[in-house]
């Protein structure tokens, strides 16, 4: 038991320890303005946590992330499924979804800023725009992968619309849609930070910005560290969701 | 399959067959209705400075002959090209090392995965601290944004080289360099291209975000400046160009994959 655990996860822990050691040494041997050792980053993080500042900003960011992402899901998923079913509509809309998927949405932030100002709504819009197109794009990809014969066979056996959905459409499109959801989670996180940087400064974005403006390098490192961990966690979650639905696709 | 490779290019349906099946009409109709809707909504509800199709079209000739715009465009493209060049070389080397050596893979995979999962724009405050408000910070951001996508894809590609190829090479006593050059690299090419497609998009985002944040001259800053001074039409031409680059990279890589690696199919698609 223990032996196999060590063999499997030993190198990972070893490399983590080595990385932290490297960070510590690099931090101690350069100027404090450039880099801060790991120990000091943790210390600063602890201070931020205990002062309650961190929790407040975290909740603020989480609210933004969840609202924008939920909207993207509420709009993207049904629309994607509709496109999967209505072929003409899908063919018509496809290229535009591809274009919007490939467009760097950050470029729209200045417009959103000057039209909608600094409230909560424009920031939600940014997160929404970042995350809705991966969902749509991948769902349409999935819809394209449905063989027309399958639908024809289902129809010639007089399957109802409901069972057509349940047995052909959903099993084919859901795995793709979940790939979209995974991508959307990552993009929504970028959108969240971008909105917090470039629209009104709040949440975790504000935590970094504030630290950077105060030349508080330890604060910058602490915030990047935490946001990085959140990113890793969310990516994991996305992969789990995707794999759960993609079991049969391999 | 790891996350970086799943977003592989789908072999697109061929243009001819699509047009023959009448895709052109629905597409044109959709496009025109989007533009019309946009025009009507903006005219009815939004202030005059907000970009709408008719005024954006009028702004195009003005913008593309404007020297300051061309300068901004050049600065951004140069930075993206430089960043991508460094990224491709570095990313491929690291990726090959990871894919072909399990020791290297074990040591750095956790970091590559970790950095790749980070929303890349959070490094901006740090990079501005390290490199100042300069072009160097922009290049660093571009590299950081793009490199992990390439590394992960190349590593996956190098790992997926069929074992038989390597065994044949070994039994003919080919040296390591030739194995790398003539088997591993060509076999990972589709992955490299998929990585490049992802990386190019991210590099573009990295450049724009860096220009926003650092206020250094470029396409991103041009968009920021003009939309701040209520020249939305001019700024939107910049967005169109960015969208064009994004789509261009996508088409370029998909096309190259089909043209040069026709045997390579990620997902069989039909209909």
- Residues A55-81 have pLDDT tens digits of 888 999 999 999 999 999 999 988 988
Minimum CA–CA partner of B237 in chain A? A107
From residue B181, how far is each of A26, B186, B187, B192, B242 by CA, in Å? Answer: 36, 7, 10, 14, 35
Q: What total number of domains does chain A contain?
A: 1
- Interface membership of A34 toward B (CB under 8 Å): yes
The single residue listed with the structure tokens 């939309």 is B227
Interface touch B249/A102, C-beta < 8 Å: yes
Check A227 against B119: CB less than 8 A apart: yes
Q: How far apart are CA B140 and CA A13, in angstroms?
A: 29
The tokens of B45 are what? 């509800």
pLDDT range class, residue B21, cuts 50, 70, 90? low
Tokens describing residue A134: 């991966």
Convert the pLDDT of each residue in A9-41 to its tens digit.
777 888 888 889 888 888 888 887 788 888 888
Scanning A169-198 for CB atoms below 8 A from B yields: 179, 182-183, 186, 189-190, 192-194, 197-198
Say whether A104 and B122 touch across the interface (CB within 8 A). no
Confidence of residue A1 (pLDDT cuts 50, 70, 90): low
Question: Would you state the pLDDT for residue B6?
Answer: 43
* Of A246-250, B58-62, B104-108, minimum mean pLDDT range: A246-250
Does a structural domain hold residue A111? yes
Banded model confidence at residue B169, pLDDT cuts 50, 70, 90: confident
| Spatial separation of the C-alpha atoms in residues B162 and B88, rounded to whole Å | 24
Average pLDDT over residues B259-270: 59
Question: In the block, which residue shows the tokens 């040296």?
Answer: B175
Which distant-in-sequence residues (6+ apart) come within 8 Å of A137 by Cβ? A97, A98, A101, A180
Q: Of A141, A124, A138, whose CA–CA distance to A183 is shortest?
A: A138
> How buried is B253 (Cβ within 10 angstroms: 0-12 exposed, 13-18 middle, 19+ buried)?
buried
Q: Give the C-alpha distances (Å, rounded to integers) separating A190 from A128, A159, B215.
A: 11, 43, 19
CA A99, A105, A110, A113 dihedral sign is positive
DSSP A9: H
Query: Which residue in this structure is represented by tokens 């050049």?
Result: B74
Provide the pLDDT for residue A87: 82
ipTM score for this prediction: 0.85
Among B8, B30, B202, CA closest to A97: B30
> Mapped to the 3 state alphabet, what secondary structure does B224-259 carry?
HHHHHCCCHHHHHHHHHHHHHHHHHHHHHHHHHHHH
Is the predicted pLDDT of residue A106 greater than 70, yes or no?
yes
Determine the residue of chain B that is closest to A33 in CA distance: B129
Q: Write down the pLDDT at residue B10.
A: 46
Residues contacting B177, CB < 8 A, separation 6+? none
Q: What is the mean pLDDT of residues A112-116?
A: 88
pLDDT of residue A126: 95
Q: Where are the domains of chain B?
A: 14-46, 49-260
CATH of residue A168's domain is 1.10.3720.10
> Judged by CB atoms within 8 Å, which residues 119-138 of A form the interface with B?
none
Q: What is the mean pLDDT of residues B52-67?
A: 89
Q: Where are the beta strands (DSSP E) in chain B?
A: none
Residue B2 has a pLDDT of 41
Give the one of B113, B125, B223 whose C-beta lies nearest to A209's C-beta. B125
Q: How many CB atoms lie within 10 A of CB B111?
A: 13
* Closest of A49, A65, A39 to residue A202, by C-alpha: A65
What pLDDT sits at residue B144? 95
Choose among A11, A15, A190: nearest Cβ to B119.
A190
Contact (Cβ atoms closer than 8 angstroms) between residue B214 and residue B133: yes
| pLDDT average, residue stretch A94-108 | 89
The residue among A195, A190, A198, A181 whose CA lies nearest residue A230 is: A190
Q: Rounded CA gap, B55 and A17, in Å?
A: 58
Q: Which of A109, A111, A231 sits opposite B232 (nearest CB)?
A: A111
Contact B121, A194 (CB under 8 A): yes
CA distance A42 to A20: 11
Tens-place pLDDT, residues A197-234: 999 888 899 899 888 888 888 889 999 999 999 999 99
Q: What is the mean pLDDT of residues B14-26?
A: 65
More confident position, B81 or A88: B81
- Distance (Å) from the C-alpha of residue A198 to the closest C-alpha of chain B? 8
Angstrom distances, CA of residue A187 to CA of A84, A105, A106, A146, B133: 23, 10, 11, 27, 26
Q: Using CB atoms and an 8 Å cut-off, which of residues 140-159 of chain A contact chain B?
A: 141, 144-148
Task: Read off the pLDDT of each residue in A114-124 and give the average, rounded to a whole number.
Answer: 90
pLDDT-derived band at B138 (thresholds 50, 70, 90) equals very high
Please tell me which residue, B61 or A12, carries the higher pLDDT value. Answer: B61
**Burial category of B89 from C-beta neighbours within 10 Å (exposed 0-12, middle 13-18, buried 19 and up):** exposed
Q: pLDDT band for B17, please (50, 70, 90 cuts).
A: low
Count CB pairs under 8 A between chains A and B. Answer: 172
Chain A contact set for B124 (CB, 8 A):
197
| Banded model confidence at residue A149, pLDDT cuts 50, 70, 90 | confident
- DSSP code, position B266: S
Give the rounded percent of residues in chain B with a pLDDT score beyond 70.
89
Per-residue pLDDT, averaged over A155-178, amounts to 84
Question: Are A220 and B228 within 8 A, CB to CB?
Answer: no
Chain A residues whose beta carbon lies within 8 Å of the beta carbon of residue B10: 141, 144
- Within a 13 Å sphere around the CA of A7, how many CA atoms are in the beta-carbon half? 4
Contacts of B104 in chain A (CB under 8 A): none
- What mean pLDDT is reported for chain A? 87
Mean pLDDT over B179-195 rounds to: 86
Tell if the CB–CB gap between A102 and B201 is shorter than 8 Å. Answer: yes
Question: Mean pLDDT over all residues of chain B?
Answer: 84
A26 touches chain B (CB under 8 A): no
**Taking the CA of residue A187 as centre, how many other CA atoms within 13 Å lie in the half-sphere pointing to its CB?**
29
Q: Closest-CA residue in chain A for B204?
A: A104
Which residue in the set A111, A198, A224 is minimally distant from B122, CB to CB?
A224
Cα separations in angstroms, A203 against A55, A206, B2, B91, B109: 9, 5, 31, 33, 30
Range A181-186 average pLDDT: 92
The CATH architecture one would assign to domain B49-260 is Orthogonal Bundle (1.10)
Note whether residue A4 is domain-resident: no
For A183, the domain range is 43-246
State how far residue A51 is from chain B, nearest Cα, in angstroms: 22
Over range B238-261, report the average pLDDT.
87
A7 in contact with B at a CB cutoff of 8 Å?
no
Q: Which of B26, B34, B239 sits opposite A88 (nearest CB)?
A: B26
pLDDT given for residue B19 in this prediction: 56
pLDDT for B269 beyond 60: no
Cα dihedral B157, B158, B159, B165 sign: positive
Minimum distance, in Å, between the CA of residue A101 and any CA atom of chain B = 9
Best residue in B118, B130, B207 for a mutation probing chain A (most A CBs within 10 Å): B118
For residues B271 and B262, what is the distance between their CA atoms, to the nearest angstrom?
A: 19
Q: With contacts defined as CB-CB under 8 Å, which chain A residues touch B223?
A: 107, 110
């Amino acid at each position: 038991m223990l032996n196999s655990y060590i063999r499997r996860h030993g190198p990972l822990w070893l490399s983590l320890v080595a990385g932290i050691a490297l960070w510590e040494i690099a931090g101690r041997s350069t100027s404090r303005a450039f880099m801060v050792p790991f120990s000091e980053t943790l210390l600063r993080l602890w201070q931020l946590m205990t002062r309650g500042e961190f929790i407040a900003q975290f909740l603020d960011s989480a609210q933004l992330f969840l609202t924008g992402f939920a909207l993207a899901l509420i709009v993207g998923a049904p629309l994607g499924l509709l496109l999967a079913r209505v072929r003409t509509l899908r063919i018509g809309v496809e290229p535009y979804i591809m274009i919007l998927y490939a467009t760097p949405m950050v470029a729209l932030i200045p417009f959103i800023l000057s039209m909608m100002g600094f409230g909560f709504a424009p920031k939600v819009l940014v997160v929404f725009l970042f995350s809705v197109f991966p969902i749509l794009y991948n769902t349409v990809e999935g819809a394209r992968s449905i063989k027309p014969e399958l639908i024809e066979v289902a129809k010639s056996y007089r399957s109802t619309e409901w069972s057509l959905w349940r047995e052909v459409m959903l099993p084919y499109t859901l795995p793709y849609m979940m790939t979209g959801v995974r991508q959307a989670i990552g993009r929504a996180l970028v959108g969240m930070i971008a909105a917090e940087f470039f629209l009104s400064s709040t949440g975790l974005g504000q935590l970094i910005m504030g630290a950077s403006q105060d030349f508080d390098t330890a604060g910058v490192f602490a915030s990047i560290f935490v946001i990085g961990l959140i990113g890793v966690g969310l990516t994991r979650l996305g992969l789990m969701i995707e794999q759960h639905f993609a079991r049969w696709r391999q | 399959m790891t996350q970086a490779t799943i977003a592989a290019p789908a072999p697109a349906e061929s243009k001819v067959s699509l047009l023959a099946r009448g895709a052109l009409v629905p597409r044109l109709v959709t496009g025109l209705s989007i533009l019309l809707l946009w025009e009507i909504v903006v005219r009815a509800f939004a202030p005059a400075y907000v970009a709408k199709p008719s005024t954006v079209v009028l702004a195009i000739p003005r913008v593309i002959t404007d020297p300051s715009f061309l300068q901004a465009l050049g600065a951004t493209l140069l930075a993206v090209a430089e960043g991508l060049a460094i990224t491709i070389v570095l990313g491929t080397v690291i990726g090959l090392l990871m894919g072909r050596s399990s020791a290297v893979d074990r040591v750095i995979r956790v970091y590559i995965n970790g950095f790749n999962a980070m929303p890349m724009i959070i490094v901006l405050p740090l990079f501005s601290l390290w490199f100042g408000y300069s072009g160097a910070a922009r290049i660093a951001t571009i590299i950081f944004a793009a490199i992990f996508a390439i590394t992960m894809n190349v590593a996956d590609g190098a790992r997926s080289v069929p074992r038989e190829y390597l065994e044949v090479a070994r039994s003919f006593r080919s040296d390591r360099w030739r194995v790398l050059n003539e088997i591993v690299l060509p076999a990972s090419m589709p992955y490299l291209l998929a990585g490049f497609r992802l990386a190019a998009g991210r590099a573009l985002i990295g450049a724009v975000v860096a220009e926003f944040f650092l206020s250094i001259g470029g396409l991103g800053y041009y968009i920021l400046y003009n939309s701040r001074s209520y020249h939305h039409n001019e700024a939107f031409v910049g967005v169109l160009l960015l969208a064009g680059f994004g789509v261009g990279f996508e088409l370029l890589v998909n096309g190259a994959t089909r043209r040069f690696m026709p045997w390579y199919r990620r997902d069989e698609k039909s209909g």
